[in-house]
Amino acid sequence: MLPISDDNRGRRSQPYVVWTLIAINVVIFAYEFVLDQHALNDLFARWAVIPAEVSSGHLLYTLVTCAFLHGSWLHLGGNMLFLWIFGDNVEDVMGHTRFLIYYLLTAIIASAAQVLVNPDSTTPLVGASGAISGVLAAYIVMFPRGRIRTLVFLGVFFTAIMVPAWLMIGYWILLQLLSGLSTLGVDDVSGGVAFFAHIGGFIGGLALVGLFRDRGRLERQRTRRRTYDGQSWRQG
């Protein structure tokens, strides 16, 4: 299942932080793209999380800087799509500053979770997936019945359907849990995916959302969503 839009009724503020984060990630990846392999390896060695280094107390700043690096256009595109769809409503409820702090904290928690599970790995960890997992956690807590327009692939065919957020995000985190459990005892990141960073970011988000949400803003969005008439959909 691939989300393509959500219900934005009730959102009043513009998602300036989401837009800025997307722009920063795109610009940094464009810079990565023009580097030769040697220079790219040097960039990752300095700014990506290398669990063996972090677990030794070195390069701790990479717990957050790694969230602004990506390994491919597909990696970048998938992360930014999820941030674009789910982040604007979360930012509206939290406010710009608190949303940014929340995003960065869940990025740190996500990176730390992967380091704890695989502390001796020398494979660089990059990507915003952990922080975006925190955004998904906030969304499912605040809008469990939020309507998500989702592409469902059936072999070579696909169709767009509307599903509740609890189903879309619940399906996603279940996949992360099952995949993460299957990698326990494996020395390196399985298939290039740091599943425990996703799980850690999600759990961190669940723990923090109550501290960062604004109850008045949340109730406003929920009230507007309850009056949904099936007509007003807009890209998230």
DSSP annotation of 48: S
Q: Maximum Cα–Cα distance for the chain, whole Å? A: 55
Q: Going edge to edge, which strands form the sheet with 147-154?
A: 2-6, 147-154, 157-164
Return the CA Rg of the chain.
Answer: 18
Residue 187: what pLDDT?
A: 53
* Sequence-separated (6 or more) residues with CB below 8 Å from residue 200: 109, 110, 111, 112, 113, 114, 130, 133
Residue 235: what pLDDT?
A: 40
Residue 185: what pLDDT?
A: 58
CA 107 from centre of chain: 8
The pTM (predicted TM-score) of the whole model is 0.89
Angle at alpha carbon of residue 122, lines to 180 and 69, rounded to 5°: 75
Q: How far apart are CA 114 and CA 201, in angstroms?
A: 10
Residue 169: what pLDDT?
A: 92
User: Class for domain 2-226, per CATH?
Assistant: mainly alpha
Q: How far apart are CA 127 and CA 200, in angstroms?
A: 14
Residue pointed to by tokens 């009056």:
227
What is the chain's pLDDT, residue by residue, as a tens digit (236 residues)? Answer: 788 888 777 788 899 999 999 999 999 999 999 999 999 999 999 999 999 999 999 999 999 999 999 999 999 999 999 999 999 999 999 999 999 999 999 999 999 999 999 999 999 999 999 999 999 999 999 999 888 888 887 777 778 888 889 998 998 889 888 877 766 655 555 446 788 899 999 999 999 999 999 999 999 888 877 765 444 444 43
Q: How far apart are CA 146 and CA 125, in angstroms?
A: 32
